[in-house]
Chains A and B, each alone.
Chain A
């Protein structure tokens, strides 16, 4: 029997310092996440220099803990994988430098991992046998994108946000409502507690036009298959959440001017209804358009209860990673690293970090 492949994953792209040990790309032997949320709370968002300082302070203890938590007979590490983008440059540099150094000291390969790809791998850690092609909705504080995955390693971004990410909209709306940071869980909780009439209706940005033109888009697809030219990729699968946030802010301001009380849970629920409807309907559009066999939810906003509920009723098999795997973690980094390692796709030690790395 050959020894299992043991990969250490390191994740420091934003405000979580994380390390995990993965066996054969599927069995999580340990996963440690040290969140900096409390540090950044007072500022209503991630402060880059504070994040970097916390990473260098926490990374070694976190890695140590991850290695210590593995079962007793775990073989030595086969490789080290670390996120090298996208993310905050100073934060990424800590994890990548650490990963490279450890790989050099232990004389094992280093693999630089794309954070977005790692999120895609998160789902497969829970559900290894998902049928392809697959549409993944990746929604977090930094990203909102629909991705078509025809096979591993081949990703097509079908649409993404033109301004704020969905998670960002949650944070900003929460701030407007005087709620805490991060905004996602706060709004989720409040919206769930709301039982009144659904009187407030916020816009569904970029949805109605997309729905209207969905049929003509499908015709375009058909034309293309017959050898005709497809129309330019339109905005149908793109998102925009900045206007929605503004609508909420305006609603609050108007109420203040009129001297009327607002129900915070009602506003939270209305905001979340809008986000969830836009995300779900656009995902369905993508599934129909590209004949996907399944959908996945990934990224921090995928922990939102209403979104998870809605996705289970889309009419296509839907795979929801556990909440721990949705938010930033290092097991997914190790999983992506393992996949690249198996293909002999390891990184040179002069590899850089890329704050705006694309999928």
Chain B
């Protein structure tokens, strides 16, 4: 990807890990080099277009027409925006993004593969790269983002226990006050976030996060990011939590959390009613990775650096160093062996 210094990137987000076929197009400004993760959460991206079509097992039918419709809209869009009026903007007739951020799972395999095959071959045709994002990371990031923006209004601890408000493009742009953002504190009232995705057959895919990009330390590494039955998972957490951690609230997000809300609620965890990964969150997630801006002056060699963005075994997901991949390198995250039937 060749992007001039300080120029931004157009990103296409593709989300098919659940029942929805989702697509979003957004613009990421050039991020200042030493902005912290916390401040750049607010920095985010400008979402130009974002839509989910909630129709189970219809990803193949719905996704590509949705993407085409969005690209067409962009082709005729007249926006008094410096980004859109830039050199890129002059060629909007042949609009193509600079990057595709795609949810690579875990999730429902069939839909997942539709999204990944789509991202792969769009990127191949456009000769651009793909940013693979795990659905578990994405969910945790999404809830952190929502809380972060709400924090501007009220403290996290006073949040209502359920919300279905999704940040719209407008509120995101309006909420951009990076200078006023307080650093995230590590006090005990902070909730741990557990992404829980329905894996069918009575199991869930899960991972637990301390902060947007940091997996918790308290689970043994080999038990992180896995697949388990909900009550197994609860037992696992209860056994692994230290006393101080036990005072932390565990906030469960995702369709698996909703499906097994009884199990998680009776364990004392908080369950968010509605929190499916959205395509636009993929673009905000992409905005966190500094490698999107491969300035000529930086020593970033995307060919030689290989970082398993989602296989981080211990500690932090180094989101700032997630490397966009060539489309052929995209692979779904299954977390389960194939059914031999």
Contacts and interface: CB of A to CB of B under 8 A. Distances in A.
Interface stretch (A51-59, A162-170, A213-221, A291-299): A51-59
Contacts of A89: 110
17 contacts: A50-B340, A56-B116, A56-B120, A60-B327, A90-B110, A93-B113, A96-B60, A97-B115, A97-B117, A97-B121, A100-B64, A102-B121, A102-B122, A104-B67, A104-B71, A104-B122, A105-B126
Contacts of B121: 60, 63, 97-99, 101-102, 105
DSSP class of A's interface residues: helix, strand, loop or mixed?
helix
A102 B123 CA distance: 8
B341 A47 contact: yes
Interface in A90-120: 90, 93-102, 104-106
B54 interface: no
B124 A47 contact: no
A294 B310 CA distance: 58
Contacts of A63: 121, 124
B110 A105 contact: no
A100 B124 CA distance: 12
Contact of B64 (A50, A61, A106, A350): A350
Contacts of B109: 49, 52, 90
Given A52-B113, A97-B114, A60 B120 contact: yes
Closest 6 A-B residue pairs measured CB to CB?
Answer: A105-B125, A101-B121, A49-B338, A97-B117, A102-B121, A101-B118
A98 B64 contact: no
B235 interface: no
B60 A106 contact: no
A49 B116 CA distance: 16
Interface string A79-91: 0000000000110
Interface of A: 43, 47-50, 52-53, 56-57, 59-61, 63-64, 89-90, 93-102, 104-106, 348-353
Interface centre among A95, A97, A349 (most CB of B within 10 A): A97
B214 interface: no
B60 A47 contact: no
Given A53-B334, A56-B117, 12 more contacts: A48-B339, A60-B327, A61-B328, A94-B113, A95-B117, A97-B59, A97-B60, A97-B63, A101-B121, A102-B125, A104-B122, A105-B96
A106 B117 CA distance: 15
Interface centre among A94, A101, A348 (most CB of B within 10 A): A101
Contact of A93 (B62, B110, B332): B110
A352 B115 CA distance: 15
A53 B338 contact: yes
B296 interface: no
DSSP class of B's interface residues: helix, strand, loop or mixed?
helix
Contacts of A48: 339, 341
B115 to A, nearest CB: 8
Interface in B252-271: none
A103 to B, nearest CB: 8
B80 to A, nearest CB: 28
Contact of A47 (B114, B328, B332, B340): B340
Contacts of B59: 93, 97
Contact of A98 (B117, B339, B340): B117
B61 interface: yes
Interface residues of B, number: 36
A300 to B, nearest CB: 22
Contacts of A90: 109-110, 113
Interface in B103-158: 109-110, 113-126
Contacts of A105: 96, 121-126
A49 B337 CA distance: 9
A104 B68 contact: yes
A353 B59 CA distance: 11
A98 B120 contact: yes
Nearest to A77: B125
Nearest to B334: A53
A348 B334 CA distance: 31
Nearest to A107: B94
B65 interface: yes
A352 B110 CA distance: 14
Contact of B62 (A61, A96, A348, A350): A350
A50 to B, nearest CB: 5
Nearest to A102: B121
A351 B61 contact: yes
Contact of A60 (B68, B113, B328, B338): B328
Interface centre among B96, B118, B121, B125 (most CB of A within 10 A): B121
A350 B65 contact: yes
Contacts of B118: 97-98, 100-101
Given A90-B110, A351-B61, A101 B331 contact: no
Contacts of B68: 104, 349
B60 A353 contact: yes
Contacts of B334: 53
B319 to A, nearest CB: 25
Contacts of A106: 125
A251 to B, nearest CB: 29
Nearest to A106: B125
B25 to A, nearest CB: 14
Interface string B321-341: 000000110011010001111
A64 B113 CA distance: 19
A302 B339 CA distance: 31
B327 to A, nearest CB: 6
Contact of A56 (B61, B113, B340): B113
A330 to B, nearest CB: 15
A60 B117 CA distance: 9
A352 B60 contact: yes
B124 A102 contact: yes
A52 B120 CA distance: 15
A43 B340 contact: yes
A102 B117 CA distance: 10
A101 B113 contact: no
Contact of A350 (B61, B122, B327): B61
